[in-house]
Structures are given as C-alpha cells and as structure tokens.
Amino acid sequence: MLANQIGHYSLFLGFFFSIIIIPISIKNYNNKNQIIDNKIFSISFFQFFFVLVSFFGLILSFVNSDFSNETVFNNSHTTKPLFYKISGTWGNHEGSLLLWLLVLTLFIFVFLIKSNKQPKKYRILTLLFQQVIIIGFFLFLLKTSNPFNYLFPIPKEGLGLNPILQDPALAIHPPILYLGYVGSSIIFSSSLAAVVEKHISKIWAKHIKVWILVSWVFLTLGIMLGSIWAYYELGWGGFWFWDPVENVSLMPWFCLTALLHCILVLEKRLLLISWTVILSIATFMLSMSGTFLVRSGILNSVHTFANDPERGIFILIFLFTLIFFSLFIFFVFHKHNSQEIAKTFWLSKETSILFNNWFLMYFLSVVLIGTVYPIFLEVLSGEKISVGSPFYHKLIIPFLIPFLIFMSIGPNLNWIKSEIKKIKIQIILSFIIALIISFLILSKIGLVGLINTILITVAFYLFFMTIKDFFSKKFNNYSQNFSHFGFSLLILSILFNSILSSEKIVNLKVGEEFSFREETITFESIENIKNKNYKSIIGNFKIKDKKNNSIQLKPELRVYNQPLTITSEADIKTTLYYDKFLVMNVVKDYEYFNVRYQVKPFMIWVWISTILLVVGGCLSLFRRSYEK
Amino acid sequence: MKNKIILSLLLLFFIFCFVILYKGLNNSNIYVPEVKIEKTLTKFNSIDLYSENKISSDQIFVDSEYYVLNIWASWCVPCREEHPKLMKLSKNKSIKLIGLNYRDNPKNAKRFISEFGDPYFMIIKDRNGTISVDLGAIGVPETFIINKDKKIIKRFLGSLNEKLLNEINLITK
C-alpha cells in the first residue's frame, strides 16, 4: 500500500523535474559560458532517481501482492514464485512502459556525464531533444497507462500473469531489448543535435559510436533471448516465426547494423553523413513504431498486451510528431554534401559497406512491408490476410548471396582505393575451397538445389575468409572479425538447421511406440505432479537408436490455475550436433496425446553464433580506435 | 527546390501512413481463433447456481437452434464491462444464453448478478474450472457459439463488443 503510494508520487516528482529542466537548459544554452550548469546535472539525476524509486515501488507492490494496485491485480497472484512476481513488473503494459522511462532517464544522465569532451551547445541540445521524448513518455504513462491505479474494494486475489510468460529467458528479455531500443533514442537526439549544431565530425562519430555499439549489443541480445524463449517455451519447434512482434524488433536491428557500419566510415573518412543521420532517425522511429504496433493491439500476435485504442492514438500522434519534427530539422539544417560521391572509388571498403547498407535497407523494407501491409490492406479493402514465412524467405534468401560476398570481401579491401591486381590469390582460393566443401556436404546429404548450393558456398566463403583474417591481420581487427565470423556461423547453422530438420507428429497412448528414421520412440508412462501454481503431467519417452543407445525425454503439460491455461513444455536434448525436441499435447480425456518429435541439427550453434556476434560488438567497445 | 519536393512528398507519405494507422486502430482487434474442425461438446455435469440442482450437459443443450456459452466470474474485471453487452444479447430470442460461472464464490456471483442484471437463461457452476478446460477456454471472459448439434462453431476470447454482438446476431439468425 505504502510502496504503491510512494511509487505514484515519485512518478509525479520525476515528471516535475523533467519539465523544469527545460527552461534551465535553454537559459544555459544561450549564455556564453562554455560549461554546463551543475544544476542541469542534478535535475537530470533527480529525474532518474524518482523514476527509479517509482519503479522500485511497483516491484515492491508486486512482491507484496498488493492488489489495491490495478496493475498488480491484473498481472499477479499470491501463489506465483517470487522471481516471476518480480519479472511480472515489466511483463505487462504499464510496468514495461515505466521501465522504458527508467532507461530513458538513466541514459540521458549517463550521456551528460560521459560527453564532457563535446561542445556545450551540442550536449544541451541533445538533452533537450531527449527531454521531449521523456516528457512524451511521462504523459503517455500518466494519462493512459498509469501503473499505480488504485482499486477499491481491494480484491483478495490477482488475475495472474500469463503462464507462458513465466520463463527465465522471457523475464530478462524485455529489459535487455529496451536497453537497445532506448539506446537508439540517444543516437536519435544526438544526431539531430549534431545536425543543428553542425557538429558532425570524426570526433562526434567516435563519441556516438559507443552508444551505437551499446544499443546494438543489447538489441541483438534481446532478440536472441526472445527467440530462445520462443524455441523452448512456445513448443512450435522453431526459433523464428516472422511473427509481427518479432519483426518489429528485427527492423531496428537492420537499421542499427547499417548505422554501425556507416559510423565507421564516417569516423574514418567523413563520408556517408546523410546516411548516418537518416539511419539514426530511422532506428529510433522504428523502435517507436515497434512500441506502437505492439502496445496499441493493432497487430495480433503471441504477445499479450491489452488492447486499448486510446493508448494507440497517443503513441501514434507522438510517433508522427517526432517523425515530422525530425524531418523538419533534417531538411532545414542539414546541408547535403554533393562532393561525397566524387571522393569514393568503386573498389574500396567504403563502397562495399555502402552496398551492404543498401542490402540491409532492402531486408528492412521486406520485413516492414510484410508486417504493416496486412494493416494497410485491412483498412483500405477490409480484407484480412496474414503474411507468413514463405514471403520473407522468398524475398530475403536470394539476396543474402551478394550480401555475404560483399561481407567477405569488404574487410579485405582498403579504405579509399584498392587495386584489382592487389586482390590476393587467397580470396579466390578460399572461394574455391568453400565451393568444394559445400558441394561435398550437399552431395553427401543427397540434397541438391542451385540456391542452396550457392548459399552454403557463400556462407562457407565468409566463414573461411574471417578465419583467414584472424591470422593474416594479426588480430588488429578482432572485434569485426569476431562478429563477421559469428554471422557466417549463424547463417550456416540456420541453413543446415532448416534444410536438415525432420519431424513426425503422431497420436499416442501410454505404452505405444513409433519409429522415426532409425529410432524407436516409446511412450512409457505419465506422471502427475502438483506444484504451487500449476499441476503438471509429465510424459516419459524413451528414444532408442539402432545402436541401442537410449535417451529419456520428459515433455510436460502444465495446467496453470490462475488464469486457467494449459502450456506445453517441450523437452529438448541438446548436443553439439543436433537437438532432439519432443512436445506433447492433450488430445482427449488425457488418454491419447499428440506427440511431436523433431530432430534439429546444429540448433545450439544458432545461439552460440549470436553470442559471438555480441561478443564482437562488446570487444569493439573496449578498443581505443578503429583499425589502421 | 529539389529538397522541397522531396520534403513535401515525404510529408504526404507520412500523413497517408498516419491516416491508415489511425483508422486501423479502430478496427476490432479481438482475437478470434479459427475453428478448423467443429469441435463437438464433451458431456459434462454441473450444478445450477441458484437451484443447486445437478444438471448434465444433455439437459442444458436442448430445444434451441443456437446456444451461446459465456464464461464469466464476479472477480473478473473485463466481465463487468462485458455485462451490458450480454444484457443486450439476451434479447435475441433465437439463442439460449448460458453462463458458466468460473471458479467463483457463489455468494459473490449472485451479488454480481443482482447488481448488474441477469442476462442468462441459466447459470451453471464450474467450481474447479474443469468444464472450461474441456471446452478449451484459456481465460475469462470467453464466449462460445454452439449449434443444435452441440458443435462449437465460433469462440471469442476476451470481452464482447458491439461489433462481435452483431456478428453473433448474424450467425444465429
């Protein structure tokens, strides 16, 4: 009760500070003094501090199951384990917005402290732009989705959190993803400020690169965690479904990846300035539209958030205000440098980056169209469609081929200009090796197909090229190597995974068995176990291969009581080579069970390679300067 | 000059997007799972909320073309919002509206009904939630349309709105 009130009032206090910082900053911006007033630092700190208090207030209300708070009542229950009570704080609409706000205020405070080598006017302008976003979110939170609404009379029990959200990977997935999303807001504000102040320079690039890397690392990790959750918890037997909400997180990722490469070019050669600014704006706008699409309920998906048109309208107006605002700043203050093109040579590192940026933009537009087209179609013609994976696969996969080739060759080119003659024999040699290896592998599997062969070849090509670069460049650019290596591994494992996966779905009774390829799967028994907030039905399956090695798999069905939901927990046996995945569902009367058995090769490598990508990004953070 | 053209085109484009998304918001977003194979209702036994008499599903689903089964509870906040819609729906004479009171305290349930009105032809109790599980329900409120062959022909997750009411009236015409 107390925690709830403290949380509520400190949210108002935070809002108060977010407003008074504006006139003080404007005053400071206009005076001749070259340093930022200390008052600004302290107000920015208080703004963050009170949002933090408010966030802790909400966590405490969740921990104490204080059902006088509407958010807690709607999303928690006394029988829930403590860990999920806490993660329930941000597992719902109101709490997750409070988290957004927390990260927003934290980041601007950190930005103010860390940017002390930059000009004062630029820093204050960034702060001002960021405050616009912060105030927008404060208003949104207080007006449409206050997490501290009182409920009277106080209910004895809560409605419970959606049980498929009770998963460790999902408990940390939103905060991590938000760090990525919100990090892009700093990039947005600071690049607008840099445009206004004409501060776009190599020094600026170096300073903002840190923020881009941090956001990129968190965004990548966040997407991976979400995908791990989908794989283990949803039991659909895959890790990426082109679900609109997944797409919404992928879009800023494409943008941010392109931006990451642009900023390197900018830092090195002061080129691609317009690209950098536009991508900075676009990344944050895509993060915001992600919030809009998910929170407004305009999309249907596995993600459970309340549908409330009022919220949708607020974010929509806010989003478009920001879009028009940034368009205005870009067109008024940004002076296009038409000499840029003349300064680039067709065969150089920067052109290969530029090429790949175009490809990334292409992938982005495919995903964007696939995600929003159904909305547009429904409004314009009343027709309901859903866009599935064939659309994305057909449009994306072929274009991965040139993308991967540029990615392999690009790092081997010089800045400014490379000579064709100087392109070493190793590059061609690795290509031939890659071709032979993929041909051998494919003929062994017995699978031929032009696209597959070429794709695997180029993925192997990137793989070998990055390994070669590790040694030939004497580790002077290991962060980029790491990430590119991780990416090639990711593509390879996804390819092999999708080509070689196999599954069988049968209806079984206890005691029955079925055979699949060279294995026999026996349904031995079921047991019933009562847990604190759910009861579980566990099936015992024995899988025996032809060499008589056997493993046990125990998929589980959970019947949660609050709210009543049945979820199936797949049991997965993971090895370095493949995952064996078994999930069951009730058919009727708990006598027959629908059993789905899958063998998924190289599954774990999808996660490992994503982690490598992230590690590459982190390494880059710790490096002083970009490659010589 | 060129810049101005680009700017105005972009503005037009974004205004177009805004209008479309704004309109899209007003579309109903209640998730209606597609029922591929019409599921036949499994038999169940229950207790009438008021008379406390035992009653089986065969006794409930008789003499009507269509039945609308609504899962509700007094503790469920969205059910409160939904209730006036159900009152409206009860005027439709071609259906029998059956309330399935999910995991509720009978006292509270009765108080709820006396406060907000009784749209139901009959209210049966689902004390431990098993009937709802058998129906395949995943939350409260949830509404099923059942035809005279005891087949579930449509289900709606979440509370009903005007649009869905019209849909129900259309189906059960």
Residues of B in contact with A331 (CB under 8 A): 3, 6-7
Over residues A44-73, mean pLDDT: 92
* Candidates B13, B16, B18, B25, partner chain A, best to mutate (most A CBs within 10 A): B25
Residues of B in contact with A312 (CB under 8 A): 25
pLDDT band at residue A163, thresholds of 50, 70 and 90? low
| Tokens describing residue A408 | 């392999």
B21/A292 Cβ within 8 A: yes
Max avg pLDDT among A121-125, A169-173, A307-311, B69-73: A121-125
Over residues A486-515, mean pLDDT: 86
Task: From A167, A87, A95, A67, select the one nearest A569 (Cα to Cα).
Answer: A167
Q: Can you give the pLDDT at residue A310?
A: 74
A556-610: pLDDT as tens digits: 888 877 666 777 788 888 888 888 888 888 766 677 888 888 888 888 999 999 9
The shortest CB-CB distance from A375 to any of B11, B21, B31 is to: B21
A418-440: pLDDT as tens digits: 776 666 777 788 888 888 888 88
* Least reliable range by pLDDT among A88-92, A495-499, B135-139: B135-139
Over residues A242-252, mean pLDDT: 88
Q: Can you give the pLDDT at residue A546?
A: 82
Q: Can you give the pLDDT at residue B61?
A: 84
Cis-peptide into B141, omega within 30 deg: yes
CA distance B43 to chain A (A): 11
Q: Is the pLDDT of residue A626 over 50?
A: no
Over residues A182-186, mean pLDDT: 93
Task: From A267, A264, A109, A281, select the one nearest A185 (Cα to Cα).
Answer: A281
Tell me which of A84 and A219 has the higher pLDDT.
Answer: A219
Per DSSP, the three-state class of A471 is helix
Q: Can you give the pLDDT at residue A448?
A: 64
B137/A375 Cβ within 8 A: no
Half-sphere exposure of A524 (CA within 13 A, CB side): 14
A157/B129 Cβ within 8 A: no
Per-residue exposure over A317-326, b if at least 16 CB sit within 10 Å of its own CB, e if not: ebbbebbeeb
A289-331: pLDDT as tens digits: 887 887 776 765 545 444 566 778 888 899 999 999 999 999 8
The shortest CB-CB distance from A298 to any of B7, B25, B138 is to: B25
CA distance B93 to chain A (A): 30
B1-37: pLDDT as tens digits: 778 888 899 999 999 999 988 887 766 555 455 554 5
B57-66: pLDDT as tens digits: 888 888 888 8
Spatial contact of B29 and B135, defined as CB atoms under 8 Å apart: no
B137-161: pLDDT as tens digits: 766 788 888 888 888 888 787 778 8
A vs B: CB pairs below 8 A: 73
Q: What is the mean pLDDT of chain A?
A: 85
* ipTM > 0.95 (yes/no): no
| Tokens describing residue A627 | 């490659």
Question: Environment class of residue A34 by beta-carbon count within 10 Å: exposed (0-12), middle (13-18) or buried (19+)?
Answer: exposed
Task: From A75, A90, A152, A366, select the one nearest A247 (Cα to Cα).
Answer: A366
A331/B3 Cβ within 8 A: yes
The strand pairing partners of B55, in sequence order, are B46
Strands in A80-228 per DSSP E: none
The shortest CB-CB distance from B29 to any of A292, A297, A316 is to: A297
Q: Can you give the pLDDT at residue B152?
A: 83
B→A contacts (Cβ < 8 Å), by residue, are 3, 6-7, 10-11, 14, 17-18, 20-27, 29-31, 42, 75-77, 102-103, 129, 132-133, 137-140
Q: What is the mean pLDDT of chain B?
A: 81
- Using a pLDDT cut of 90, give the percent of chain A over it: 34
The shortest CB-CB distance from A155 to any of B25, B75, B132 is to: B75
Q: Rounded CA gap, A290 and A248, in Å? A: 5
Q: Can you give the pLDDT at residue A254?
A: 96
The shortest CB-CB distance from B26 to any of A309, A561, A564 is to: A309
* Least reliable range by pLDDT among A244-253, A467-476, B29-38, B144-153: B29-38
The shortest CB-CB distance from A298 to any of B14, B24, B75 is to: B24
Tell me which chain A residue has its CA closest to the CA of residue B78: A74
Q: Is the pLDDT of residue A253 over 50?
A: yes
Residues of B in contact with A563 (CB under 8 A): 138-140
Does domain B31-171 match CATH 3.40.30.10? yes
Q: Is the pLDDT of residue B106 over 90?
A: no
Give the DSSP H or E segment for B146: strand B142-147
* Least reliable range by pLDDT among A147-161, A280-294, A449-463: A147-161
Residues of A in contact with B31 (CB under 8 A): 300
Q: Can you give the pLDDT at residue A230?
A: 82
Q: Rounded CA gap, A112 and A105, in Å? A: 11
| Tokens describing residue A148 | 């501290």
| Tokens describing residue B166 | 């019209």
| Tokens describing residue A133 | 């976003």
Q: Can you give the pLDDT at residue A300?
A: 57
Look up residue A514 and give its DSSP letter. E
Q: Can you give the pLDDT at residue A350?
A: 84
- 3-state helix, strand, coil split of chain A in percent (to 5) is 65, 10, 25
SS (H, E, C) A407-452: HHHHHHCCCCCCCCCCCCHHHHHHHHHHHHHHHHHHHHHCCCCHHH
Q: Is the pLDDT of residue B48 over 70?
A: yes
Tell me which chain B residue has its CA closest to the CA of residue A589: B134
User: Residue ranges of the domains in chain A?
Assistant: 1-161, 173-406, 407-500, 502-604
Q: Is the full-model pTM beyond 0.90?
A: no
Q: Rounded CA gap, A599 and A503, in Å? A: 6
